Amino acid sequence: MRLFKCQLNAVRSVGLSLAVIVGLSACSSEPLEPNIASVDTAPKGSVEHVQKVSAITDSDLVTADSNAADWLSYGRTYSEDRYSPLKQITRESLDSLGLAWSLELGTKRGIQSTPVVVDGIMYFTGPWSVVWAVDARNGAVLWKYDPEVPTAMASKLCCGVINRGVAIYQGAVFFGTLDGRLISLEASSGRINWSVQTVPEDGFYSITGAPRIVNGRVLIGNGGAEFKARGFVTAYAADTGEQVWRFYTVPGNPADGFEQPELALAAKTWNGEWWKQGGGGTVWDAINYDPELNLVYIGVGNGSHWNREIRSPGGGDNLYLSSIVALDADTGEYRWHFQTTPGDSWDYTATQPIILADLEIDGEPRKVLMQAPKNGFFYVIDRVTGEFISGDNYVYQNWTTGLDANGRPIEAEGARYLSGKAHWLTPGPLGGHNWFPMAFNRDTGLVYIPTGHQSMAYSYRADVGYASHEVPFGPLGGNMSLDGKLYNEPVFDPKAPPPGQRSGRLIAYDPIKHEEVWGIDQPFFYNGGVLTTAAGLVMQGDAEGIFSIRDASTGEAVWQYDVRSGVLAPPITYAVDGEQYISLLVGWGGSQGLLAKAVDKLYPGTLYTWKLGGSAVAPAKQASDMAALTELTTDADLIAVGRGFNHFINVCSGCHELGAGGGAVPDIARSSDAVFSIYEDIVLKGALASQGMPNLGAVLNQQELADIKAYVLYHAARLRAGVDPMALMAELGGLQYQADQATRSKTPVNNVKP
């Protein structure tokens, strides 16, 4: 690991000119040592001060709602409603809101972290599971810890080298690493207390989610359901790292017995030999705790394989995939579950954020949990019993005709795509809402959800079997085993977003009336998480690099700021010495950020912080880093282009997107002539393996690579000709259809030169 002691690191603060940037030369590898001053008189940011204020107790976490100044845990409180009582920053005072400071983090990978703040000390994570401690008043870096995750982990991930945050407790900072470690650091110095490997080291597990603290234990899940993983969540003793309990979300091989009695019942909902591919069900994000009920709620992910017909031939609900499961916080024992998507075949996970709230429903007070999972329905569940209270679609969906009285989906005809033909279903696997935190305002009674609108052509590939892990994440990568198509066969729903079209929408949803109150359309699908405050404000950064503060009742934008790069992370707010601050981590990446830019420049990740009267200078705007489209052309016929597009979707699109890339990974259509001249060495021989481009020699042959190259050059030529990217997706879908027809008939179809 690498530990740095720092005073300032690329900080621009009030009173500093744009040129005054103190770099990493102000850092040293020696640990911070206490000063002579007593704890009571120690200044903020000193070791003594940090030691005192980071000694968070269970009582502090239980009563966090009454502590408006601090942001003590991932969702601020155990309810994780991301509602702040602070109201110094109001609609009326926004005219004086300005930048207090900014901190450049020196990375161009995605940043999804929610910082935690205690008495002016902020902790957060960046790409590659790196942890930062900074003075929340001015951005001065106190220390930085790099767990030195092996770079080879990047090829084992679905969604980028991201991390969503830390937990603080009893003077320690806890976080998970991409390679599956849970680490405890001394909060005042960044020195390691303990580290434990939480997942099998020979698998494709990862950790991207933030840990949670419950009764002296650190709870952590994992990801990797696309890669032969079996999901579980584990509680570790915060002081020693010793495992206390573990709950498996899906049954293993019945011949080996069951770790938990309820798994024997769950196994009856599975068929075949699902355990050979893990089964899936990873707990990669939502973990909540109700201290009054002493229940932990976990959100469970998709199956491995995605398609139930492959992983569990003959059907079954496949418990506890795509479920919310309640556990005893002390023992990890099962209490109840609610399955949002029985027998999931669409990657409709229930891992999305959960909010705990007390609502009056039909005149009666109810303790509920609320979730907007990927499948497009907003659920209100009794968190005491698991009883279904209500569920209505919060985005357009066509995979069901609705929910029955028990909340079970009534599946539409053809939704399971078993006919061998492509069915255009919405939401697609990115979901109507993904990991981006939503927020609940107790005053307006509304839930603010960053939603997305996109479809996918699901089609069954019975001949695929268990896909090779040598294929990067994509339709044939991991255990997805789909046949990626951009055409409908037949047209399942003309109302669904067409091929290549994705958009976002920030909505205010009434969980009592089950309706959208207002919505703001956004041109890009992935936008940042949400914060709401007692001042009647809603805050969100978007993919185009605009941080907006809106009226919580109407959605009207009342203040905006250009943060230069796409936003994924949610903002937080806190107070120090009587001043309210707003902080936002900015850095484009993650699953969609790997694929496409919503702005034309990938800026270094930056932490922005605002306050009333702030006058710091923003980081300078930079020129676009987008290379020109290649001028090379192809003489391949359209059938070859269609075949190449097929291969590209199935093997390459997991990293390079349908449009050949353009996000945090290279845009192939904008490659240099030199790159095209060694295409075979790069793709089939691993010439750039050290830079993250895997060797696909065992996956593609020379003809298939030639077809892919033909597609890429055709794609570039059409863009140079001014064809709209969305229209080009539809055109490519047509070529894909022609190629498929030609393959089926073994005769050329409309075989002409481009």
Q: What share of the chain is helix, strand, coil (3-state, %, to 5)?
A: 20, 30, 55
Rounded CA separation 356/692 (Å): 40
Three-point CA angle 569, 570, 575, nearest 5° = 125
Q: Could you read off the pLDDT of 334-350 as tens digits, one per residue? A: 999 999 999 999 999 99
Which of 336-350, 665-679, 699-713 shows the lowest per-residue confidence on average (mean pLDDT)?
Answer: 665-679
Any binding-site annotation on 693?
A: yes
pLDDT of residue 235: 99
pLDDT at 8 over 60: no
Asked if residue 621 belongs to a known ligand binding site, the reply is no
DSSP code for 390: E
The answer as to whether 489 is a domain residue is: no
The pLDDT value recorded for residue 496 is 85
Q: Which residue has the higher pLDDT, 689 or 549?
A: 549
Range(s) of the domain holding residue 695 = 638-745
Identify the residue with better confidence: 686 or 87. 87
The percent of residues above 90 in pLDDT, for the chain, comes to 61
Q: Which residue has the tokens 């937080």?
A: 572
What is the average per-residue pLDDT within 725-752? 72
Burial of 623 (0-12, 13-18, 19+ CB in 10 A): exposed
Angle, alpha carbons 565-569-572 (nearest 5°): 115
pLDDT at 624: 65
Residue 239 scores a pLDDT above 50: yes
Closest by CA position to 371, among listed 408, 411, 340: 340
Cβ contacts of 310 within 8 Å, gap of 6 or more: 462, 464, 465, 466, 481
Rounded to the nearest 10°, the torsion over CA 379, 480, 208, 287 is 30
pLDDT above 50 (res 31): no
Range with the largest mean pLDDT of 156-170, 378-392, 493-507, 618-632: 378-392
Sheet of 364-371, strands arranged across: 354-361, 364-371, 377-382, 388-393
Query: How far does CA 614 lie from the centroid of its chain?
Result: 31
705 within a domain of the structure (yes/no): yes
Residue 431 covered by a domain: no
Cα separation, 411 vs 398, whole angstroms: 9
pLDDT higher than 70, residue 729: yes
- 224 annotated as a binding-site residue: yes
CATH number at residue 725: 1.10.760.10
Model confidence over 90-140: pLDDT tens digits? 999 999 999 999 999 988 788 999 999 999 999 999 999 999 999 999 999
| Cα separation values, 503 from 132, 378, 496, Å | 33, 19, 12
Q: 104 or 21: which carries more pLDDT confidence?
A: 104
Burial group, residue 166, by CB count within 10 angstroms (0-12, 13-18, 19+): buried
Q: What is the mean pLDDT of the chain?
A: 87
> Is residue 210 included in any domain, yes or no?
no
Does residue 347 have an active-site annotation? Answer: yes
**Which pLDDT score is estimated for 37?**
34
Flag whether 226 is marked binding. yes
**Exposed / middle / buried, residue 657 (Cβ in 10 Å: 0-12, 13-18, 19+):** buried
* 656 marked as part of a ligand binding site: yes
| Alpha-carbon span 93 to 414, nearest angstrom | 54
Predicted local confidence at residue 661, as pLDDT: 56
DSSP annotation of 690 reads: G
pLDDT of residue 332: 98
Does residue 374 have a known ligand-binding role? yes
Residue 701's contacts (CB-CB under 8 Å, 6 or more residues apart) are: none
269 labelled binding-site residue? no
φ, ψ for residue 563, nearest 5 deg? -100, 10
Phi, psi of 359 (to 5 degrees): -120, 150
> Is pLDDT at 26 greater than 70 in this prediction?
no
Please tell me whether 208 is known to bind a ligand. yes
Checking 28-31 for CB contacts under 8 A at 24+ apart, the result is 28/4, 29/2, 29/3, 29/4, 29/5, 30/5, 31/3, 31/5, 31/189, 31/190, 31/191
> Which residue's entry shows tokens 């605002």?
610
Give the three-state DSSP class for 66.
helix
Two tokens at 305?
């394989």
Q: Which two tokens stand for residue 512?
A: 């009592």
> With contact defined as beta carbons under 8 Å apart, do 346 and 429 qualify?
yes
In the structure, what pLDDT confidence band is assigned to residue 660 with cuts at 50, 70 and 90?
low
Residues facing 167 on adjacent strands: 174
Q: 177 CB contacts (<8 Å, ≥6 apart)?
A: 129, 147, 149, 163, 183, 207
Which of 221-230, 405-414, 446-455, 605-614 is least confident?
221-230
Cβ-contact 195, 182 below 8 angstroms? yes
CA distance 352 to 583: 23
The residues facing 192 across adjacent strands are: 185
593, containing H or E segment: helix 590-593
Write the pLDDT tens digit of every residue in 624-636. 666 788 888 889 9
Give 372-404 pLDDT, tens digit per residue.
Answer: 999 999 999 999 999 999 999 999 999 999 999
Report pTM: 0.88
Name which of 289-303, 516-530, 546-560, 667-681 the model is least confident about. 667-681
pLDDT at residue 481, rounded to an integer: 59
Residue 322 belongs to a domain:
no
**Can you give the pLDDT at residue 600?**
56
- What domain count does the chain have? 1
Cα distance between residue 549 and residue 717, in whole Å:
41
- CB proximity list for 8: less than 8 A, separation 6 or greater: 22, 26, 139, 140, 141
Amino acid letter, 562? D
Question: Does the annotation flag 655 for ligand binding?
Answer: yes
Question: Would the annotation count 485 as a binding residue?
Answer: no
- Mean pLDDT highest for which of 270-279, 479-488, 658-667? 270-279
pLDDT of residue 491: 58
Beta-strand runs (E) in 180-333 = 181-186, 192-197, 212-214, 217-220, 232-237, 243-248, 279-280, 287-290, 295-299, 303-304, 323-328
Each residue's pLDDT tens digit, 446-465: 999 999 998 888 887 665 54
Q: Could you tell me what percent of the chain has a pLDDT over 70?
A: 84
pLDDT at residue 3 is higher than 80: no
- Is residue 674 domain-resident? yes
- Provide the pLDDT for residue 565: 87
290, 317, 344, 347: the active-site residue = 347
Torsion of CA 314, 315, 320, 321, to 10 degrees: 100
pLDDT at 500: 67
Of the candidates 305, 389, 375, 309, which has an alpha carbon nearest to the alpha carbon of residue 340? 375
